[in-house]
Amino acid sequence: MDESLLIHSASHSYPVWIEDGIRHHTAELVRKAVPDYTKVFIIADENVGKLYIEDILSSFPAESRPDYTLLPAGEMSKSFAEYERLITECLQQGLDRKSVILAFGGGVTGDIAGFTAATYMRGIPFIQIPTTLLAHDSSVGGKTGINHPGAKNMVGAFHPPHGVIYDPEMLRTLPPEEWRSGYAEVVKHALISDKPFLNWLMENVQDLSLLQGERLKELLKKSIQVKADVVQKDERESGIRAYLNFGHTLGHALESYAGYGKLTHGEAVASGMIFAVRLSRAELNAALPENELRKYLASLGYRLDLEKEAEAVKLIQLMKKDKKTAGGRINFVLLEEVGRPVLKRAAEETLLHLLENEVAK
Amino acid sequence: MDESLLIHSASHSYPVWIEDGIRHHTAELVRKAVPDYTKVFIIADENVGKLYIEDILSSFPAESRPDYTLLPAGEMSKSFAEYERLITECLQQGLDRKSVILAFGGGVTGDIAGFTAATYMRGIPFIQIPTTLLAHDSSVGGKTGINHPGAKNMVGAFHPPHGVIYDPEMLRTLPPEEWRSGYAEVVKHALISDKPFLNWLMENVQDLSLLQGERLKELLKKSIQVKADVVQKDERESGIRAYLNFGHTLGHALESYAGYGKLTHGEAVASGMIFAVRLSRAELNAALPENELRKYLASLGYRLDLEKEAEAVKLIQLMKKDKKTAGGRINFVLLEEVGRPVLKRAAEETLLHLLENEVAK
- Does A151 sit within 8 Å of B91, measured CB to CB? yes
Listed as ranges, residues in chain A with pLDDT below 50 are none
Tell me, yes or no, whether A199 and A145 share the same domain: no
- Determine whether the annotation assigns residue B12 to a binding site: no
Asked if the structure places residue A287 within a domain, the reply is yes
**Considering only CA atoms, which of B160, B158, B57, B143 is closest in space to residue B108?**
B143
Integer-rounded Cα Rg, in Å, for chain B is 20
The CATH number assigned to the domain holding B41 equals 3.40.50.1970
Tell me, yes or no, whether A62 and A201 share the same domain: no
CB atoms within 10 A of CB A56: 27
B278 residue type, one letter:
R
- Does A154 sit within 8 Å of B157, measured CB to CB? no
- Does A84 sit within 8 Å of B123, measured CB to CB? no
**Chain A residues inside the 8 Å CB shell of B325:** 96
Final residue before a domain boundary, out of A155, A172, A189:
A172
Listed as ranges, residues in chain B with pLDDT below 50 are none
- Please give, rounded to a whole number of angstroms, the shortest distance from the CA of B353 to a CA of chain A: 27
Burial class (CB in 10 A: 0-12, 13-18, 19+), B258: middle
The CATH number assigned to the domain holding B218 equals 1.20.1090.10
| Cα distance between residue A70 and residue A86, in whole Å | 10
Residues of B near A (CB-CB distance < 8 A)?
A: 10-11, 38, 80, 84, 87-88, 91, 96-98, 115, 118-123, 143, 145, 148, 151, 154-158, 236, 323-327
Final residue before a domain boundary, out of B140, B158, B173:
B173
A90 residue type, one letter:
C
| Cα distance between residue A250 and residue B85, in whole Å | 29
> pLDDT at position A46, please?
97
> pLDDT at position B259, please?
85
Final residue before a domain boundary, out of B106, B139, B173:
B173
Asked if the structure places residue A361 within a domain, the reply is no
Which residues make Cβ contacts (< 8 Å) with residue B311, sequence separation at least 6?
A: none
Handedness of CA A102, A108, A114, A119 (dihedral sign): negative
Tell me, yes or no, whether A88 and A217 share the same domain: no
The count of structural domains within chain A is 2
Tell me, yes or no, whether A168 and A180 share the same domain: no
Tell me, yes or no, whether B161 and B38 share the same domain: yes
Tell me, yes or no, whether A141 and A208 share the same domain: no
Domain span at residue B336? Answer: 177-356
Paired strand residues for A329: A326
Strands B340-345 and B331-337: antiparallel
Beta carbon pairs, A and B, within 8 Å: 84
Which residues make Cβ contacts (< 8 Å) with residue B218, sequence separation at least 6?
A: none
- Does B87 sit within 8 Å of A154, measured CB to CB? yes
SS3 sequence of B45-85:
EHHHHHHHHHHHHCCCCHHHCCEEEEECCCHHHCCHHHHHH
**Considering only CA atoms, which of A106, A59, A64, A67 is closest in space to residue A90?**
A67
**Considering only CA atoms, which of A329, A134, A290 is closest in space to residue A227?**
A134
> pLDDT at position A121, please?
96
Cα diameter, chain A: 65
| Cα distance between residue B240 and residue B243, in whole Å | 5
Asked if the structure places residue A61 within a domain, the reply is yes
Nearest to B156 among A96, A122, A323 (CB): A122
Tell me, yes or no, whether B73 and B87 share the same domain: yes
- Does B323 sit within 8 Å of A97, measured CB to CB? yes
Residue pair B120/B107 in contact by the 8 Å Cβ criterion: no
Asked if the structure places residue B361 within a domain, the reply is no
Which site among B11, B95, B148, B155 would you substitute to test the A interface, given the most A Cβ atoms closer than 10 Å to its Cβ?
B155
Write the DSSP string, A80-130.
HHHHHHHHHHHHHTT--TT-EEEEEESHHHHHHHHHHHHHBTT---EEEEE
Asked if the structure places residue A29 within a domain, the reply is yes
The pLDDT tens digits for A250-263 are: 999 999 899 877 89
CA within 13 Å, CB half, A226: 25
| Cα distance between residue A33 and residue B147, in whole Å | 30
**Considering only CA atoms, which of B253, B361, B226 is closest in space to residue B298?**
B361
- Catalytic one of A237, A283, A290, A336: A237
Tell me, yes or no, whether A150 and A204 share the same domain: no
- Does A97 sit within 8 Å of B151, measured CB to CB? no
Paired strand residues for A69: A43
> pLDDT at position B358, please?
67
> pLDDT at position A169, please?
96
- Please give, rounded to a whole number of angstroms, the shortest distance from the CA of A122 to a CA of chain B: 4
Which site among B122, B321, B325 would you substitute to test the A interface, given the most A Cβ atoms closer than 10 Å to its Cβ?
B122
> pLDDT at position A360, please?
55
Which site among B37, B89, B119 would you substitute to test the A interface, given the most A Cβ atoms closer than 10 Å to its Cβ?
B119
**Considering only CA atoms, which of A347, A300, A121 is closest in space to residue A205?**
A300
Tell me, yes or no, whether B193 and B102 share the same domain: no
- Does B38 sit within 8 Å of A327, measured CB to CB? yes
The pLDDT tens digits for A78-112 are: 999 999 999 999 999 999 999 999 999 999 999 99
| Cα distance between residue B348 and residue B344, in whole Å | 12
- Does A323 sit within 8 Å of B121, measured CB to CB? yes
> pLDDT at position B359, please?
65
How far is CA A27 from each of CA A39, A129, A226, B238, B298, rounded to the nearest angstrom?
11, 12, 28, 25, 54
> pLDDT at position B347, please?
87
Nearest to B80 among A84, A154, A323 (CB): A84
Tell me, yes or no, whether A156 and A143 share the same domain: yes
- Catalytic one of A23, A78, A248, A278: A248
| Cα distance between residue B345 and residue B352, in whole Å | 14
Catalytic residues of B: 122, 143, 185, 227, 237, 241, 245, 248, 252, 265
- Please give, rounded to a whole number of angstroms, the shortest distance from the CA of B1 to a CA of chain A: 28
Q: Name the 3-class secondary structure at B156.
A: strand
**Chain A residues inside the 8 Å CB shell of B155:** 87, 119-121
Active site residue A265: yes
| Cα distance between residue A78 and residue A108, in whole Å | 7
- Please give, rounded to a whole number of angstroms, the shortest distance from the CA of B62 to a CA of chain A: 20
Tell me, yes or no, whether B230 and B87 share the same domain: no
Tell me, yes or no, whether A291 and A185 share the same domain: yes
